[in-house]
Copies of this chain bind each other. A is one copy, B any other.
Amino acid sequence: MSLLDGTETQTYDPVRQDLDATSDVAASHWPMNAWYAAAYDVEVGRRLTPVRVAGVPIVLYRRVDGRAVALADACWHRLVPLALGSLEGDDVRCGYHGIRYSPEGRCTHMPAQQTINPSAAVRSYPVAERHRFVWVWPGDPALADPATIPDMHWNDDAAWVADGKVIEVRAGYQLVLDNLLDLTHEEFIHTSSIGNGALSESDFTTTHDSASGRVTVTRWMLGIEAPPLWKYLLSVKFPDYRGPVDRWQIIRFTAPATICIDVGVAKAGTGAPEGDRSQGVNGYVLNTMCPTGPKSCRYLWAIARDFATDSQRITTELREGVAGVFAEDEAMLNAQQAAIDATPGYDFYNLNIDAGGQWARRLITAMVERERM
């Protein structure tokens, strides 16, 4: 098995349980040649919205025809944020000296000058809107292919209903990846909603593929009692069922910053592991992070489902339930980042449960290193 390709099954293996201590604690790097979800679609409109994408100050807005625009949020002339200016048709005008730029970043007006210096411009970034997110490509525009935007179609697929929120996390995006690629923490943080003891006791499988930049962590918990949230959701579809369930969590990471988690429970022994989910309920937890700085990120998420799709009540309950769970994670992530900052030189130690997160970091590091060549 090569280092960057292969499949491994992680079980109770006393020999492998300790990967080497990594020196990735402070890892805050990210590739520039990547699509990052800078904002939810509803956050961008006919106004100037400042964000940071891969650490870069960017201003977002929509043209008159609705297409999103991403410009460097710093006037060429004196560095003032364009977000303090105003929209004029499809152009943005700096609020200080009135220099105006087109959506392509070209200067279209200079005060007190008849001619415009052709070098006067701000950088324009490739933008694509997909799956309800506004994706920005901070790297080489020639490489920006919207076909490589991670698949998060559950967020706007007619067969699914989805809703979500944005969290401004005061922790580096890789710490959020670690969090999502090992869900055993649900047992300890989220005890009242989705945690159950089976999580940390059950086997899981980790696969990775360096060519596509993907890692998958699969965990099945068979014949268990459903935790509170899942018990309620299963009862929506099967009001009379009281028995045990087969529960699944299939975590799919796409480098550098997207994780879609296929989750659900079905009546125990009805064939869910083999592919028949008709006797269960299925959801997708959609997560994608935009690194805003070495120690902060925008965390955009949604929860999608394929049952009771006409119930706004369940949409609201699920969105607010997940928001409560993620607020518990957010507090822990912020504390973890603060502890890392206060402890320079410390290395993380790894357990079996960290296999997914370790592979994700390796794939990200490989992307960053390729850019440096």
* With A79-B343, A96-B336: A14-B114 Cβ-Cβ less than 8 Å: yes
Residue of B nearest to A17 (CB): B113
Copies of this protein chain in the complex? 3
| Most chain B CB atoms below 10 A, which of A77, A96, A185 | A96
Q: Which of B12, B98, B332 contacts A185 (CB 8 A)?
A: B98
Q: CB of A18 within 8 A of chain B?
A: yes
Task: Bin chain A's interface residue count.
Answer: 35 or more
Segment at the interface with B among A31-39, A259-267, A317-325, A344-352: A344-352
Q: Are A97 and B351 in contact (CB under 8 A)?
A: yes
Q: List B contacts of A339 (CB < 8 A).
A: 57, 74, 79-81
Q: Which of B96, B98, B202, B332 contacts A96 (CB 8 A)?
A: B332
Q: Are A184 and B113 in contact (CB under 8 A)?
A: no
Shortest A233–chain B CB gap in Å is 25
Q: What mask results when residues 1 to 43 of chain A are scored 1 for a CB within 8 Å of chain B, else 0?
A: 0000000000010100110000001000000000000000000
Q: A77-B351, A79-B348, A95-B189 are in contact. List 16 more A-B contacts (CB 8 A).
A: A14-B113, A14-B115, A17-B117, A57-B339, A74-B346, A78-B178, A78-B349, A80-B335, A81-B335, A84-B331, A84-B332, A97-B353, A98-B184, A110-B351, A112-B184, A112-B200
The 5 closest A-B pairs by CB, nearest first: A111-B200, A14-B115, A98-B188, A12-B114, A112-B200
